[in-house]
Structure 1
Amino acid sequence: MYEQILFPTDGSDGADVALEHARDIAETYDGTLHILTVLDTTSPHIGMTAAGPASGSTGMIAEEPGMAESGMVGEDHSVQAHLRERAEAIVDAAADAVDTVDTVTAVESGVPHSAILDYAAENDIDLVVMGTHGRTGVGRYLLGSVTEKVVRTSDVPVLTVRLGDGDTE
């Protein structure tokens, strides 16, 4: 039923909670878990929508000596390479955490919800499992929600996992 499961992640604690559900479904159906991170090219900083692994940083600002912030005069293209490395570390860490199932990791660039939907279509995904912060009201509309956009426009079922009260962001 669910042979190809997609888990888009931004490396946050909320995504970790959803990863547990994605792993359980992949184990139950003997499926393959696709772990995806998207480098958000809509950001003026060409950053991720993600937290960097272990750093707590969004990866959107050049934090290391000698690195220029993307978009500045004298831009250093190593920023993009650094962001890609962080994204690869996020998907690799998620794959290591679910070593009981077959995994495929990927890092894509683009508009996050569109890149997720494109990946799902290109890889015959049967189910998408995503975390959500559970924002409501004006906060949800002002910040936008990648998960909400995927839910509204996906051709395949989407399981959303809300960050629980005992969990941290």
Structure 2
Amino acid sequence: MYQHILFPTDGSDGAEFALDHAIDLASTYDATLHVLHVVADVWYPSGDPEGFDFDMSSVEKHLQERGDRLVREASERAAESGVDCETEVVTGRTPHRAIVDATEDHDVDLVVMATHGRRGLDRLLMGSVAEKVLRLSEVPVLAVKFPEEADE
């Protein structure tokens, strides 16, 4: 039924919980798990305010290294369960767009991702990557809610 499962991760507790579901499904269907982390554009302030001495390249380097670590750790967990895994860190894209594009690039049959369950003003201001992926994806999306959020 599923040959390629995409698991986008932001490193949150919810994503760690959703990874268990992704690995279980990949194992059940003998599917390849594609682990994706998106490093969004780093915001650069306009102009050069007096006293502003901050090296943005160090921030970018840290975010890239964090993404590399997240996909490596997810891949190691998948390997422990005998699941084939491919990893990718995408830089400079909006997360929802990178996830949807990855479904097409890797011929994905299913996306398994965490949802943070934001409500009210938080949802209005922050939006939801999972919600945008659900709206834009041409393939099924399994949105996994972290148990502590289930009763909120």
Structure 2 match to 1:111 = 94
| Cα distance in 1, alignment partners of residues 138 and 129 from structure 2 | 15
Structure 1 outlier segments of 4+, above 4 Å: none
Residue of structure 2 in register with 1:17 after alignment: 17
Aligned partner of 2:2 in structure 1 is 2
**Map of 2:75 onto structure 1:** 95
1:44 alignment partner in structure 2: 43
Q: Provide the rounded CA distance (Å) in 1 between the counterparts of 2:56 and 2:38.
A: 21
Q: How big is each residue's C-alpha offset from its partner over 1:25-51, in whole Å with a ceiling of 9 and x where there is no partner?
A: 00010000000000011x526xxxxxx
Any gaps of 5 or more consecutive residues in structure 1? 46-71
Equivalent residues, number: 140
1:74: Cα distance to partner?
5.9
Q: 1:77 aligns with which of 52, 57, 74?
A: 57
How is 1:123-162 mapped onto 2 (pairs within 5 angstroms)? 123-162=106-145
Amino acid at match of 1:117: V
Q: 1:76: how far off? A: 4.9
Unaligned runs of 5+ in 2: 45-51
Counterpart CA distance in 2 for 1:74 and 1:44 is 12
Paired position in structure 2 for 1:62: none
SS at match of 1:125: coil
Q: Give SS of 1:98's match.
A: helix
RMSD: 1.8
Q: Calculate the TM-score normalised by the size of structure 1.
A: 0.77
Structure whose residues are more often helix by fraction: 2
Amino acid at match of 1:40: A
Deviations 1:90-149 (A, max 9, x none): 111111122220000100021110011111111100000000111222221111111110
Which structure has the larger Rg? 2
Report sequence identity in percent.
50
**What TM-score does the superposition give when structure 2 sets the normalisation length?**
0.85
Give 1:81 deviation, angstroms: 2.1
